[in-house]
């Protein structure tokens, strides 16, 4: 009797995107530069493991600026904040470091520009998501939230010839285009943003999942439940033909019954997930007979973002100060 070959299809790209990498580095470098505690408004990225790791190093996560002691350092998360949050920080004399992903900042700039031209802005996204709150806060009088295709039917605009759609960066590409198509049925002159709002990393991770899902009995997505892009990956996997899909933060959360009768398991991770968690999932699967791992690559990601300017300036000044002290010390020893 031939033994059934069990295998894993490992998606690439997966895990950290450039914006997440920059945000996590921002907290780590601030801790080195200023020493703990460093306050972070909201979760720096939506991942349980990343947050607990940074907490262990001295980061304190708060919901609002009011929880930060006056004059302290606060970092704004990768998801972006509304202008009023900066004003609140200023009023409390907080030293604010903005770790907003540059791709989210781009959407904020688009919202401001279209609002200045008196457009109605239809923001496609999930109600209550931090990114949506931040973008809408740039032009609250002009922005209406459209939460999925069904939300398209409730939209009202002042002038059907002056309306544009923008979107949250972490949505399902397919669902967003479905929402846009529904909106265009009612608003044929609806304009599109000048460039794609859904971020490259979200699209790339969804694309490779679509590639592997039809061959998979089950797709395991490593990510947290409050991570929009991770939740979308499970939905994309099932829509693309996987017979099952599950979201887990850690390998030990994988239920054995999910693997019963499976020969091919797909594995990927959301854009805020460190790869060590994926490696632990692969070890867990190997121990259950899924030792044959084939990596499926559909894109090569090379984009990086530099750290926030305000942090880079202070890091540079601190390095110059250390160099000066070292030179003075050598001079004293020689003298």
Q: Which residues are annotated as a binding site for dimethylallyl diphosphate?
A: 46, 79, 129, 227-229, 272
Distance between CA atoms of 309 and 96, rounded to whole angstroms? 11
* Closest among 124, 35, 38 to 74, alpha carbons compared: 38
Cα distances (angstroms) measured from residue 110 to each of 81, 121, 154: 15, 10, 23
Distance between CA atoms of 298 and 188, rounded to whole angstroms? 34
Active site residue 131: yes
SS3 per residue for the chain: CCCCCCEEEEEECCCCCHHHHHHHHHHHHHHHHHCCCEEEECCCCCCHHHHHHHHHHCEEEECCHHHCCCCCEEEECCCCCCHHHHHHHHHCCCEEEECCCHHHHHHHHHHHHHHHCCCEEEEECCCCCHHHHHHHCCCCCCEEEECCHHHHHHCCCCCCCCEEEEECCCCCHHHHHHHHHHHHHHCCCCECCCCCCCCHHHHHHHHHHHHHHHHCCEEEEECCCCCHHHHHHHHHHHHCCCCCEEEECCHHHCCHHHHCCCCEEEEEECCCCCHHHHHHHHHHHHCCCCCEEEEEECCCCCCCCCCCHHHHHHHHHHHHHHHHHHHHHHHHHHC
Strands across the sheet containing 143-146: 143-146, 120-124, 163-167
Could you say which of 3, 131, 276, 295 is catalytic? 131
Binding annotation: 17, 46, 79, 101, 129, 169, 199, 227-229, 272
For the annotated catalytic residues, the residue numbers are 131
């Amino acid at each position: 009797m031939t033994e059934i070959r069990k295998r894993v299809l490992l998606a690439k790209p997966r895990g950290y995107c450039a914006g997440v990498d920059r945000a996590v580095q921002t907290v780590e470098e601030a801790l080195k530069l200023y020493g703990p505690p460093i306050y972070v408004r909201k979760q720096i990225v939506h991942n349980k493991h990343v947050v607990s790791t940074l907490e262990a190093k001295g980061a304190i996560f708060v919901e609002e600026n009011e929880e930060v002691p006056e004059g302290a350092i606060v970092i704004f998360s990768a998801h972006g904040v509304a202008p009023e949050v900066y004003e609140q920080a200023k009023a409390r004399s907080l030293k604010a470091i903005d770790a907003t992903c540059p791709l989210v900042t781009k959407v904020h700039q688009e919202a401001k520009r279209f609002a200045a031209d008196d457009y109605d802005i239809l923001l496609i996204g999930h109600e209550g998501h931090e990114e949506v709150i931040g973008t809408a806060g740039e032009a609250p009088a002009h922005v209406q939230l459209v939460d999925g295709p069904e939300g398209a039917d409730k939209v009202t605009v002042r002038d059907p010839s002056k309306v544009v759609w923008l979107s949250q960066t972490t949505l399902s590409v397919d669902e967003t285009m479905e929402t846009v198509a529904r909106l265009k049925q009612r608003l044929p002159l609806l304009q599109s943003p000048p460039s794609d709002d859904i971020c490259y990393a979200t699209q790339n991770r969804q694309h490779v999942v679509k590639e592997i899902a039809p061959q998979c009995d089950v797709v395991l997505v490593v990510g947290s439940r409050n991570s929009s892009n991770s939740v979308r990956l499970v939905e994309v996997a099932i829509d693309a033909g996987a017979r099952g899909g599950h979201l887990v933060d850690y390998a030990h959360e994988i239920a054995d019954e999910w693997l019963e009768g499976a020969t091919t398991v797909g594995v990927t991770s959301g854009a805020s997930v460190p790869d060590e968690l994926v490696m632990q999932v692969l070890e867990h699967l190997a121990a259950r007979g899924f030792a044959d791992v084939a990596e499926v690559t559909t894109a090569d990601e090379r984009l990086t973002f530099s750290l926030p300017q305000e942090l880079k300036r202070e890091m540079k000044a601190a390095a110059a100060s250390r160099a000066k002290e070292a030179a003075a010390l050598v001079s004293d020893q020689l003298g």
